[in-house]
Amino acid sequence: MRSIRTISIALLAIIAISTAHAQSLPGGFVYLRDIDPTIIQDIRYATPNNFVGRPLAGYGAGECVVKREVGLRLKAVQQELATQNLSLKMFDCYRPARASLDMVRWSQNGHETAADRRYNPKIPKTELFRLGYIASRSQHSTGAALDLTLVDLKADNSARIDPSRSYADCTAPVAARLPEGSVDMGTGYDCTDEKGHTAAPSISPDQRAWRRRLVAAMARQGFVNYSKEWWHFSLPGAGGAAYDFPIQPRRN
């Protein structure tokens, strides 16, 4: 009887541990990789390759986490793009609230470096909060906002960042700025410049066409673009409360 009870307790412990693993994300959130593993991910805030120059608070893994409905709609976008030899590439998805506060602190730290200027060629970092480029509260923290671009699967996307090279700022021609392995949208990701506005008149016809193609593909699944950032989209009605749970490695 005692051994049966011991076994039962052990089984309950195993079940509890398994349940804890299965519930590592709050209800309604999923890893996008579990919805569609074909969508390319380059979660920049989990790396030093971003405007802050280091991983942001709360980014313990380079994984795209979203609300389930958002993930399913992204899968539908990806299926449409696949017929055109294109893919989505995710730069940011759910963002812990602590990461937004980390951005604000960075903007107010009183230091301006050459690396900062790659992303903010004309706007002092102290002005980014006032102008709406960063915020203490972000839609990303609800799991319903995304930063993304398009990848031409027929192109050579193998270029990687060379730490010994001095790159031009995010508004420079694509060959001179940091490589992103994606189509040329006219600026790099997170470029706080008028050229990064979705309808910017200063970009080329080809760059404008790529932006329109991305906006149209996302709009067909209900996503809305933010006019000051060609890469930023949200799904109205899918948000809700902001969260601050850290992004952890996905369990297989």
- Binding site for Zn(2+), residues? 140, 147, 232
Is 127 tagged catalytic? no
Please report, in range form, the residues annotated as the binding site. Answer: 140, 147, 232
Q: How many alpha carbons lie under 13 Å from residue 57 in its C-beta half-sphere?
A: 14
Of 112, 127, 194, 229, the active-site residue reads 229
Under 8 Å between Cβ of 177 and 188? yes
Q: For residue 20, what are the CA distances in angstroms to 15, 16, 24, 87, 207?
A: 9, 6, 6, 33, 46
Active site residues: 229
